[in-house]
């Protein structure tokens, strides 16, 4: 069984950009973000010899990127870098269009995340280019079983049909037969792609009755796309996968030829005689233009059906940290190229695993030292200040007037004596600070590394912030509560008769400021309401002691002030001349029918007092307004949260009882929704369905 690693190295665009500047003389230009269907014109010049783009994709997406030389002598070179740092495609000529100066990359994306596309000119050539990005989501492919023919019929105006087959332990042939009485009546095109995404053959089925393609034994899975060339035509064809010797079962036949074609694989123990692995000449070479661009190569191992290379970094303070790994795909050369972090590491170790049926047969390792010199750099003046100790909110700042072209901020998390890279982000050259909403209570410290580019300079500064285990109370840690599960309610007063305002995020410490007992004598904790979004709408927030874990010194917590239950007024008017009726204001951040005006003129929310009350808008078919916000937490790169349901009332609002769907996502694919709060919703996951109680705000809380 392969080892399972829980850490991950989230490569971001800024690391790729900085790696280009690591040797001092190369400048990179950021081209922006691309999407499927993008068509972009750009320029490679002597001043900007490299242009980078970012592209977000999902695992299994099929992406084809084409760059054509438009003017000048530009010989386009293309690199596509995966989120884990591995270079998926490098300098592929676009031979399909007979464009000698163009380049193309066709891949099945190996993971979900942000990919980096780098364009440059071979041999310092310059000029304009046309960049086209095409992509589609994973498709449901019908498997083709060896020796079992499958007849396929395409109706008029049919979309392409998709199939797949696994290569056998023999040279494997896909045979395509035209079943139409008049072959030219329905011309087909059959495209065969390997599991990397590269097209290995295009079969044109028209006036001929049959065509085929043979692939290497044990070379992995293939995708077959079948389409008609004429949208008004309809027809049928037959697909058959066999061994090249036409023996569907791939068992040794009566002839010597069949035995050679379909010979069984040797046993695993026969692959390593004497239990001693041969020297596979594993090497790791750094790029002459970027020290942290490393290519690892090795010799093929007879009988192996897979390889994996694991990368660990050697931090400046000592130790070893797992960063990333890549698994070899049949058909690729026996090498990987990575763009690795040049922050906080003195070198890297690369370990090759030789695999047979998932079993690690042999391992070899190689080491690379990393040295990047920076001269002529000013002091960046990096500082950090705690803006809200209750949630460990931090603001990081640095000196103004540095004349920077760009900044990059990297974050490292320290917990349990070990440090791990937690991501980074790119910032414009005139930026002087960045604020973090909160850090998890499980962290002991965080380390920030600020990078600055200015012309040919690459400069850095760093600092570490250590979190104190003690709170504001002298003599010990402050009292706090923590939920260990989803769905723990924060109510507007002590007792289950009080209305739910929101839900606690599991694993977050909430500061306790008071306590009280409900009518049944059960203990409730009053928590600091400012730790919750929309807290201005309530007087106080309470959680049941039975639903949370108490942390710190909670022995001397004072009695909290229990808010009054606001009496519901009758039809005669205001109760005692103090509180205005439910619905008397609409700015409390919740359904207008549950908003009341206090004697001081404040708009407050307490739906428990409004049960059974009438919202003046209800009689006229009132619409609800639902807003969606996102709390990025410690995640980098930004994100968005939005409603997927089309408004059905007055253009931008919703009718009561409408089932809504919302989703949230971050630029960094490793950053996911930890919980949803607001609108009576609880739970996690990238999307959620709910029926709002009325006008409300839904918040997606993100994290790693």
Q: Is the pLDDT of residue 639 over 90?
A: no
pLDDT in tens, 43-94: 888 877 888 888 888 888 888 888 888 877 788 888 888 877 778 766 544 4
pLDDT of 572 reads 43
pLDDT of 290 reads 66
Q: E-strand spans in 216-298?
A: 221-228, 235-243, 283-286, 293-297
Q: How far apart are the C-alpha atoms of 328 and 581, rounded to whole Å?
A: 68
| pLDDT, greater one: 273 or 291 | 291
| pLDDT, greater one: 634 or 530 | 530
Range of weakest confidence among 350-364, 390-404, 596-610:
596-610
Query: Confidence class of residue 398 from pLDDT cuts 50, 70 and 90?
Result: very high
pLDDT of 374 reads 58
pLDDT of 571 reads 39
pLDDT of 346 reads 81
pLDDT of 526 reads 93
Query: Confidence class of residue 618 from pLDDT cuts 50, 70 and 90?
Result: very low
pLDDT of 542 reads 92
pLDDT of 9 reads 30
Is residue 237 within 8 A of residue 152, CB to CB? The reply is yes
Is residue 144 within 8 A of residue 150, CB to CB? The reply is yes
Structure tokens at 610: 């409004």
Is residue 355 within 8 A of residue 367, CB to CB? The reply is no
pLDDT of 624 reads 78
pLDDT in tens, 102-115: 788 888 888 888 88
- Cα 362 to Cα 275, 277, 329, 556, distances in angstroms: 9, 6, 18, 62
Beta-bridged to residue 566, according to DSSP, are none
Q: Is the pLDDT of residue 382 over 70?
A: yes
Q: In b/e form, how buried is each residue of 49-83, taking b as 16+ CB within 10 angstroms?
A: bbbbbbbbbeeebbbbbbbbbbebebbbbbbbbbb
Query: Confidence class of residue 613 from pLDDT cuts 50, 70 and 90?
Result: very low
Structure tokens at 209: 């009755």
Q: Is the pLDDT of residue 97 over 70?
A: no
Range of weakest confidence among 273-287, 462-476, 500-514:
462-476
Q: How far apart are the C-alpha atoms of 188 and 315, rounded to whole Å?
A: 57
Q: How far apart are the C-alpha atoms of 283 and 366, rounded to whole Å?
A: 7
pLDDT of 60 reads 85
pLDDT of 588 reads 63
Q: Is the pLDDT of residue 682 over 70?
A: no
Q: How far apart are the C-alpha atoms of 281 and 19, rounded to whole Å?
A: 27
pLDDT of 647 reads 77
Q: How far apart are the C-alpha atoms of 236 and 233, rounded to whole Å?
A: 10
- Mean pLDDT along residues 126-133: 87
pLDDT in tens, 30-44: 567 788 888 888 888
Among candidate residues 528, 701, 548, the one with its CA nearest the CA of residue 631: 701
pLDDT of 375 reads 60
| pLDDT, greater one: 271 or 210 | 210
Rg of the chain over all Cα atoms, to the nearest angstrom = 31
pLDDT of 393 reads 82
pLDDT of 516 reads 92
pLDDT of 473 reads 35
Is residue 445 within 8 A of residue 467, CB to CB? The reply is yes
Structure tokens at 150: 């499958």
Q: Is the pLDDT of residue 5 over 80?
A: no
Query: Confidence class of residue 568 from pLDDT cuts 50, 70 and 90?
Result: very low
Determine what percent of the chain is predicted with pLDDT higher than 90. Answer: 3
SS (H, E, C) 349-399: EEEEEEEECCEEEEEEEEEEECCCCCCCCCCCCCEEEEEECCCCEEEEECC
Domains and CATH numbers, the chain: 13-136 (2.60.120.380), 147-249 (2.60.120.380), 281-369 (2.60.40.730), 383-466 (2.60.40.1930), 469-563 (2.30.30)
Q: Is the pLDDT of residue 336 over 50?
A: yes
- Cα 63 to Cα 38, 80, 84, 146, 216, distances in angstroms: 12, 11, 18, 28, 24
pLDDT of 261 reads 45
Q: Is the pLDDT of residue 529 over 80?
A: yes
pLDDT of 612 reads 41
Q: Is the pLDDT of residue 4 over 60?
A: no
* DSSP structural state of residue 654: B
Helix, strand counts (H, E) of the chain: 2, 48
Q: Is the pLDDT of residue 18 over 70?
A: no
Mean pLDDT rounded to a whole number for the chain = 74
Q: Residue 506 half-sphere exposure, CB side, CA atoms within 13 Å? A: 11
Q: How far apart are the C-alpha atoms of 195 and 162, rounded to whole Å?
A: 14
């Amino acid at each position: 069984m392969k080892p399972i690693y829980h850490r991950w190295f989230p490569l971001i665009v800024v690391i790729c950009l900085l790696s280009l500047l690591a040797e001092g003389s190369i400048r990179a230009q950021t081209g922006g973000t691309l999407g499927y269907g993008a068509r972009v014109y750009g320029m490679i010049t002597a001043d900007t010899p490299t242009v980078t783009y970012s592209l977000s994709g999902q695992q299994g997406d099929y992406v084809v990127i084409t760059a054509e030389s438009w003017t000048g002598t530009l010989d386009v070179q293309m690199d596509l870098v995966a989120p884990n740092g591995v270079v998926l495609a490098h300098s592929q000529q676009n031979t399909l269009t007979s464009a000698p100066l163009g380049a193309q990359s066709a891949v099945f994306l190996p993971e979900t995340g942000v990919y980096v596309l780098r364009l440059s000119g071979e041999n310092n050539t310059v000029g304009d280019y046309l960049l086209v990005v095409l992509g589609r989501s994973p498709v449901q492919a019908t498997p083709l079983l060896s020796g079992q023919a499958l007849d396929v019929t395409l109706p008029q105006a049919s979309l392409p049909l998709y199939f797949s087959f696994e290569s056998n332990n023999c040279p494997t042939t896909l045979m395509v037969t035209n079943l139409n009485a008049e072959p030219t009546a329905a011309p087909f095109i059959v495209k065969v792609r390997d599991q990397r995404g590269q097209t290995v053959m295009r079969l044109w089925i028209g006036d001929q009755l049959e065509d085929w393609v043979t692939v290497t034994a044990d070379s992995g899975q293939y995708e077959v796309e079948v389409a008609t060339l004429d949208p008004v035509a309809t027809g049928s064809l037959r697909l058959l996968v066999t061994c090249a010797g036409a023996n569907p079962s791939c068992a040794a036949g009566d002839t010597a030829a069949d035995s050679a074609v379909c010979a069984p694989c040797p046993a695993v123990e026969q692959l390593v005689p004497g239990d001693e692995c041969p020297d596979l000449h594993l090497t790791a070479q750094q790029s002459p233009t970027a020290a942290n661009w490393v290519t690892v190569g090795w010799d093929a191992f007879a009988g192996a059906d897979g390889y994996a290379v694991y990368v660990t970094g050697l931090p400046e303070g000592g130790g070893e940290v797992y960063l990333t790994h890549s698994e070899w795909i049949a058909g690729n050369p026996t090498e990987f190229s990575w763009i690795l972090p040049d922050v906080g590491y003195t070198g890297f170790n690369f370990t090759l695993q030789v695999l047979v049926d998932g079993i690690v047969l042999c391992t070899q390792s190689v080491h690379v030292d990393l040295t990047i010199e920076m001269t002529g750099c000013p002091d960046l003046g990096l500082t950090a200040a705690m803006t809200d100790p209750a949630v460990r909110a931090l603001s990081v700042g640095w000196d103004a007037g540095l004349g920077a072209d760009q900044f990059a901020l990297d974050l490292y998390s320290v917990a349990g004596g070990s440090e791990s890279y937690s991501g980074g982000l790119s910032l414009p050259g005139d930026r002087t600070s960045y604020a973090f909403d909160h850090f998890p209570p499980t962290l002991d410290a965080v380390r920030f590394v600020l990078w600055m580019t200015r012309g040919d300079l690459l400069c850095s500064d760093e600092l570490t912030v250590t979190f104190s285990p003690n709170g504001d109370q002298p003599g010990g840690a402050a009292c706090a509560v923590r939920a260990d599960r989803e769905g723990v309610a924060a109510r507007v007063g002590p007792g289950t008769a009080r209305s739910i305002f929101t839900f606690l995020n599991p694993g977050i410490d909430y500061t306790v400021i008071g306590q009280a007992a409900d009518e049944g004598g059960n203990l409730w904790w009053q928590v600091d309401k400012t730790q919750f979004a929309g807290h201005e709408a309530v007087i106080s927030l309470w959680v049941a002691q039975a639903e949370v874990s108490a942390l710190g010194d909670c022995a001397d917590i004072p009695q909290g002030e229990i808010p009054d239950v606001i009496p519901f007024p009758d039809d005669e008017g205001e109760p005692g001349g103090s509180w205005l009726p439910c619905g008397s204001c609409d700015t409390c951040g919740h359904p207008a029918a549950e908003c009341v005006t206090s004697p001081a003129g404040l708009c407050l929310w307490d739906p428990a007092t409004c049960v059974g009350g009438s919202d003046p808008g209800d009689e006229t078919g009132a619409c609800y307004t639902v807003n969606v916000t996102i709390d990025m937490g410690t995640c980098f790169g930004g994100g968005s949260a939005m409603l997927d349901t089309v408004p059905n009332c007055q253009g931008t609002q919703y009718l009561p009882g409408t089932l809504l769907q919302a989703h949230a996502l971050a630029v960094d694919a490793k950053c996911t929704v930890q919980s949803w709060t607001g609108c009576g919703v609880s739970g996690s996951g990238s999307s959620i369905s709910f029926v709002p109680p009325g006008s409300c705000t839904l918040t997606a809380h993100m994290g790693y």
